[in-house]
Structure 1
Amino acid sequence: MKLMLRFIKPHWKLCAVTMLMLIIDVTGGLYIPTLAAEMMNQGVLGSSFETLLNTGMKMAIGSFVAGLCAVIGGYTCATLTARIGKDMRVALYESSLKLSVHEFRQFGTASITTRTVSDITNIQTAFISFMQMVVPVPVICVIALVLSFRLDTQIGIVLLIAVFIILLLASFIINSASPLFKRLQKLLDSMSTVLLENITGVRVIRAFNNELREQERLNVSFATYADTSIKANRKFANLDGLSFFCINFVIITVFWLSGGRIAAGHFQIGDITAVIEYAYLILFFIMMAQMVILTLPRALECCNRIQNVLDYSPEISDPASAQPGSAERSRSDVLVFQNVSFQFPDAEKDTLSNLSFTCRRGETTAIIGGTGSGKSTIASMILRFHDVTEGAIFLNGHDIRQMRQEDLRNQLAYVQQKAILFSGTIAENLRYGKPDATEEELLHAVRVSQLDGLIRSLPDGLNSFVAQGGTNFSGGQRQRLSIARALVKKPELYLFDDSFSALDFKTDAALRKALTPETKDAAVLIIAQRVSSIRHAQQIIVLNEGTIVGIGTHDQLISNCPVYLEIYESQTKEVQDA
């Protein structure tokens, strides 16, 4: 409820118009049988033409107004629901972007996707049904009961008891079904996770001939979801049966009581029609409300799941008074690590310990180490995907924790090992960091990235199509496109996280040679596995189990760092053996 009020509040005028139109619509539905009953009581044959004409005109006007309000109410309700859904998705998306890598993994990609698409769709469906079928129920019940009591107290009491019993049954069944719907949403997350794993990992599944095993996993997930859904729907099927019983019982009771009341002179023939119509309208709307109630427990659980993301306080946030994020091209020390340590929340010891080094403008700094030594974690801390647990990181003299994340990342260009491209064109991907880049800038970045041959071979050049994830390009081409995208941005610091791994030695050497003049006004930090990619660097940092065991040039480390020498000899031997 709190979540819905939050998103309804900006559209309260539209919500008020919708409710007013729907209330007028149902009120008109009660006005017409009341007029019909009055006409029957007077006797149609005994009524004057003027009386019949006036009553007919009133009924026609009432029908027209009710119908018009129903159309307007339906339109405004659909518009309101669409706007609320849009606002929810935007808010959920923005909140998920604020989560750190660790926090995002806690929710899970499949869960965030389900909440953004399926959960909000469930809320929209429940909301529009609630507005059209549930909101008018109190109004129609009150008005119809008042009119029934005016006609006859006993019949009014019968209607009141029937409404009370149906509402009591509905409340009981909702409470008993609510845990089932909570479980359904968790099972939907689980089902989405298994399905996503099977789709994205289809090549691995086929390679290991595990189709039957994965099919069994999916069958178990689908069957569990289906069984739980059937249990929940059975409860509402029972509610429907009991409600129909109450409707028929009320109608029989009304006819039975009406006979005696008419004979006693307390009731008229036309009043029977009015009371039956009131009963039908009340119980019809309650029945429709029960169908909506079927979606409410699931919608409430969906609201809770979305609220959990929106209310989550990210561990990494912008400071209240951020330092200026402007670049200082005159400063030689671009990036400084000062006694930096880092420990994951669920780890027992530090992943990185007491790191201190400086990346200078116009120089290339490289980081190398064995698997699990913490190289990529350094990149994550520079980008503030994680915050340091001890020490500080400075960019152009500013502690990055005191900068806005937007200002920080505007001064960085990040190229990761698994190159990510977006559906669209090559030009759109290259302009991702600099939307106003000219075509000359794009072509220059392409040439530096050793992609000019590829671009010339494509019929549409820079306007050639890029599939989702860049799957229509090879791994090396995707990496070079990502490097070109970084060059277009012209940042303060280039951060290459093992982004040359898919390149052959010839292309690697040509690309590194072309990069040198392009990065002379910025600092370059390369995280690599291959010594051949970093031996030209002015400063190489060797990591071992999260600590620095050597800093220097390639020649210096060969002579005084056993860990670096071991890495170099192992890779040299592999090349010789090959």
Structure 2
Amino acid sequence: MEMTKAAERKSSWALLVKLARPYRGMAVAALVLLLCDICGMLFIPTELSALMNAAIEGAGTPELIHHGTAMLLASVIGSGGCVASYWIASRFAANVGRDLRVAVYKKSLDLSGTEFAQIGTGSMITRTLSDANVVQQTLLMSFVMLAPFPVTCVVAIVLAYSTDAVMGQLLLLVTAVILAISALAIKKSAPIFLRLQGFIDRMNARLREAITGTRVIRAFGKEEHAKKRLDETFEDYARNAIRVNFIFAITDATCFCFMNFVEFAIFWLGADRVGAHAMQIGSISALVQYAILILWFSMMAQFALLQMPRAMACMARAQEVLTAVPAIQDPVTPEELDGTDVQDVASFDHASFRFADASEDTLKDMDFTIPRGAVTAIIGNTGSGKSTIAKLLLRFHDVTEGKAEFLGHDIRNIRQKDLRSRIAYVPQTAWLFSGTIAENLRDGALEATLDELWHALDIAQASFVRELPEGLAAPVAQGGKNFSGGQRQRLAIARALTRKADLYIFDDSFSALDYKTDAALRHALSHELSDAAVLIIAQRVSTIRDAAKIVVLKDGEISGIGTHDELMESCQDYRDIVESQERGGGADAAR
């Protein structure tokens, strides 16, 4: 376990160094300017003590002006260095945080559905946003809180020794005690900080679940149950956060109390040293300032150090995503897609598929073709594997036996980008993105003209868009929630039709449409897509009745292939589906 943790820390540091390397110039500049800030800040009490000593000794005005001017110059240099170093450090941390977010997001796009599900949507959001923010904030604190501490301690102790060896020893003892207190606080609170990030995962997951499922919660009267679950999650986080804050409160109070004793010791011991003519009285003020600065930066460094384990845990979580090996990868030597004249656009050659954690095949011995210029349909009971066939064609999964082909090539030998650029897909759940209708339609083809967008909408029977005051510029809420289910489906179909593809897949995309709209849409599609292959996955027999080829699935196996009339003669499973829909009042479905 220790070796695993050590390897994890090493991997996290390597990732952080990799992200920071492009901005190393900014890091160096921030440290140099920070050094100017610290030197200027420590030079002021030194010159102040010299000014006081000179005044007590009756020095002339020129010497007093000299010390005052030196203090002013140190203040300008220190303040300028502080502002500039903070600004550059902020830019540095923000750039690293941005690159980490982008890297995690890009990697998430490469993961298969199974790998993404293992991580979880809530956890992926946390890793992309909250974890990256923790890393960014820790980097900034390392510059403005942690880095000044060792420099301040060394310079302050050296200056104290130059004033008086006994007072230098006192400040050295003060620094050692403060370091011991900080180390104890870090040891107690670091594990709690690590747990807090896991609690954030849980809060994100449960809050997202409660918000997206609010209608179901209200429909079943489970408001109290949902509230109780959220309260438990929030209380777990609150309890641990309170423990950390309690440790901080005790540590701060201890340090401040100790510092009061230190100030008393400096005045008492300083008076004795002045009486012994070992140092001058004005030096006492400088020593007090040195001690206060050591205390201040030790507390800041303590907070930054507490964030370090949490930041490393966040880096490890990001690294877990970045080092994940996608199950679906492009081939080393991909085959180029040409074959626009290939008759069978897609085909399955005795293909089977099994999920990684399943004990049996989801699809078994799929063997059929999807020809150009015709409609191929798939029908079957819920859970028979219909949508999985679409995912295999899009290569969201790979077949475990046999092969799936597209334009005469094994799908595994084609770049995913090339494959999907030749397929237009309408998912089972019509999802629209926030923006405008035009922006959503152009997800299918960025270069599509307004005329092409209107044409796609007309084919998809989405005439309601013409009635909207803004037309194509009409706003779309996240997920398309400001449209009805049927409107969302028609917009999703129009988005697919905007793309010129060799294969159009409609995955149960007509379920929210009434029979009249369904029939009108299929009639329009038969003319519009006459040069492409069309695969329709459906529950209603009426939707696929006129298909040139119907594939009937039952428990992941092909039960029959043929036209509607042929299957009514030869396939009992198909007849059962038709009869069940007729008995359910959907006689029109079979006519």
> What TM-score, normalized by structure 2, do the two folds share?
0.94
Report the equivalent of 2:483: 473
Asked if structure 2 preserves the Cα contact closer than 8 Å seen for 1:187 and 1:225, the reply is yes
User: Contact 1:236 / 1:294 at 8 angstroms: preserved in 2?
Assistant: no
1:49 correspondence with 2:61: yes
Aligned twin of 1:284: 296
- Counterpart of 1:126, as a letter, is T
Contact 1:334 1:492 in 2 (8 A): yes
Q: Which amino acid aligns with 2:502?
A: E
Alignment of 1:311-322 (within 5 A): 311-322=323-334
2:434 to 415, 423, 431: 423
1:157 to 150, 165, 169: 169
Partner of 1:109: 121
Amino acid of the residue matched to residue 388 of structure 1? V
The answer (yes or no) to whether the contact 2:50–2:67 under 8 Å persists in 1 is no
Alpha-carbon contact 2:352-2:401 (below 8 Å) kept:
yes
| Alignment-mate amino acid for residue 301 of structure 1 | A
Q: What secondary structure sits across from 1:413 in the alignment?
A: strand
Q: Does the aligned pair in 2 maintain the 1:367–1:543 contact within 8 Å?
A: yes
Residues 417 and 501, structure 1, Cα contact 8 Å, conserved in 2 = no
Is 1:384 the counterpart of 2:395 in the alignment? Answer: yes
Q: Assess if the C-alpha contact under 8 Å between 2:536 and 2:544 holds in 1.
A: yes
Deviations 1:363-421 (A, max 9, x none): 21111111111111111121122122222211112222222211111111110121011
Instruction: Give the letter aligned to residue 555 of structure 2.
Output: E
Secondary structure of the residue that 1:575 maps to in structure 2?
coil
In the alignment, what sits opposite 2:98?
86
| Residue identity opposite 2:435 in structure 1 | G
Corresponding position of 1:358: 369
Secondary structure at the counterpart of residue 584 of structure 2: helix
Instruction: Indicate the larger mover: 282-291 or 560-569.
Output: 282-291
Distance in 2 (alpha carbons) for counterparts of 1:352 and 1:121: 43
Residues 302-338 of structure 1 show CA distances to partners (whole Å, capped at 9, x for unaligned) of 22222222222222222232222x4421111211212
AA of the residue aligned to 1:36: L
Cα distance in 2, alignment partners of residues 35 and 183 from structure 1: 47
3-state SS of paired residue (1:359) = strand
Whole-Å Cα distance in 1 between the matches of residues 587 and 458 of structure 2? 34
Distance apart, 1:577 and its partner CA: 7.6
8 Å contact kept, 1:335–1:393 = yes
Measure the CA separation in 2 of the matches of 1:19 and 1:404.
46
SS at match of 1:433: coil
Alignment partners' CA distance in 2, 1:423 and 1:391 = 40
The answer to whether the 8 A contact 2:36-2:78 is kept is: yes
What is the match of residue 203 of structure 2?
191
User: Given that residues 152 and 294 in structure 2 are in contact (C-alpha distance below 8 angstroms), is that contact kept between their aligned partners in structure 1?
Assistant: yes
Match of 2:406? 395
Name the SS for the 1:321 alignment partner: coil
Provide the rounded CA distance (Å) in 1 between the counterparts of 2:57 and 2:181: 45
1-side partners of 2:81 and 2:586: how far apart? 84
1:566 to 571, 576, 586: 576
1:237-268: per-residue Cα shift (whole Å, max 9, x none)? 22212222332232222223223322333222
Q: CA deviation at 1:294?
A: 4.4
| Identical columns (%) | 48
Report deviation, 1:5.
2.0
User: What does residue 519 of structure 1 align with?
Assistant: 529
Code of the aligned partner of 2:370:
C
Shift of 1:126: 2.6
Cα deviations by residue, 1:125-164 (Å, 9 ceiling, x for unpaired): 2322221111111111111111122222222222222212
Instruction: Give the match for residue 7 of structure 2.
Output: none
Separation (CA, whole Å) in 1 of partners of 2:401 and 2:177: 64
**Does the CA contact (< 8 Å) of 1:413 and 1:495 recur in 2?**
yes
In structure 2, what residue type is equivalent to 1:469? G
> Which of 443, 452, 464 is matched with 1:441 structurally?
452
**How far apart, CA to CA, are the structure 1 residues paired with 2:330 and 2:183?**
45
Q: Would the aligned equivalents of 1:366 and 1:525 in 2 still touch at CA under 8 Å?
A: yes
Further displaced range: 77-86 or 344-353: 77-86
**Residue 46 of structure 1: how far off its partner (Å):** 2.1
CA distance in 1, matches of 2:586, 2:67: 103
Distance 2:66 2:30 in 1: 30
Give CA-to-partner distance per residue, 1:81-124, whole Å, 9 cap, x none. Answer: 22222212111111111111111111111111122222222322
Q: Does the aligned pair in 1 maintain the 2:561–2:567 contact within 8 Å?
A: yes
Maintained 8 Å contact 1:417/1:500: no
Task: Indicate whether 1:204 and 2:216 are aligned.
Answer: yes
Given that residues 445 and 487 in structure 1 are in contact (C-alpha distance below 8 angstroms), is that contact kept between their aligned partners in structure 2?
yes
Specify which of 483, 495, 499 is matched with residue 485 of structure 1.
Answer: 495
Partner of 1:176: 188
Moved more, 138-147 or 124-133: 124-133
Distance in 2 separating the partners of 1:164 and 1:381 = 64
Using the alignment, how far apart are the partners of 1:203 and 1:355 within structure 2?
Answer: 39
User: C-alpha distance in 2, partners of 1:182/1:348?
Assistant: 36
Residue 169 of structure 1, CA deviation: 2.5
Matched, 1:123 2:135: yes
User: For residues 217 and 176 of structure 1, do their structure 2 counterparts lie closer, same or farther at Cα, with a shift above 3 Å needed?
Assistant: same
- The alignment partner of 2:404 has SS state of strand
Q: Partner of 1:539 in structure 2? A: 549
- TM score, norm. by length of structure 1: 0.96
SS of the aligned residue for 2:501 comes to coil
Tell me the alpha carbon deviations over residues 26-73 of structure 1, each in whole angstroms, 9 at most, x when there is no partner.
111111222222233344552122222222222111111111111111
Please report how far the alpha carbon of residue 78 of structure 1 lies from its aligned counterpart in structure 2 after TM superposition: 2.1
Change (3 A) 1:490 1:3: same
Which 5+ residue runs of structure 1 have no aligned equivalent?
A: none
One-letter amino acid matched to 1:334: V
Counterpart in the other structure of 2:254: 242
Question: What is the root-mean-square deviation in Å for CA atoms of aligned residues?
Answer: 1.8
**SS of alignment partner, residue 549 of structure 1:** strand
Alpha-carbon distance change, 576 to 505 in structure 1, aligned in 2, over 3 angstroms: closer
Matched, 1:374 2:414: no
Question: Does the CA contact (< 8 Å) of 2:489 and 2:510 recur in 1?
Answer: yes
Corresponding residue for residue 4 of structure 2: none
Contact 1:423 1:468 in 2 (8 A): yes
Q: Which residue of 2 aligns with 1:554?
A: 564
Aligned residue identity for 2:527:
P
| Matches of 1:514 and 1:109, distance apart in 2 | 38
Instruction: Find the aligned partners of 1:220 and 1:65 in 2 and give their Cα distance.
Output: 52
For 1:479 and 1:119, locate their aligned partners in 2 and report how far apart those are by CA, in whole Å. Answer: 36
Task: Output the amino acid matched with 2:367.
Answer: S
The one-letter code sitting in structure 1 at the alignment partner of 2:544 is I
**Larger deviation: 457-466 or 522-531?**
457-466
Aligned partner of 1:532: which letter?
S
| Residues 1:307 and 2:323 are matched in the alignment | no
Task: Give, as a single letter, the amino acid of the residue that structure 2 aligns with 1:4.
Answer: L
Which residue is 2:443 aligned to?
432
Q: Is the 8 A contact 1:493 1:522 kept in 2?
A: yes
Give the total of aligned pairs: 576
> Measured at CA, do residues 121 and 392 of structure 1 come closer, stay the same or move farther in structure 2, by a change above 3 Å?
same
C-alpha distance in 2, partners of 1:433/1:451?
A: 16
SS at match of 1:356: strand
In structure 2, relative to structure 1, the CA distance for the partners of 1:174 and 1:323 (3 Å cut) is farther
Counterpart code for 2:114: H
- The correspondence for 1:144, drawn from 137, 146, 156, is 156
Alignment partner of 1:259 is 2:256: no
Q: Write the distance in 2 (CA, Å) between the matches of 1:138 and 1:475.
A: 62
Runs of 5+ unmatched residues, structure 2: 1-12
* 2:508 corresponds to 1:498: yes
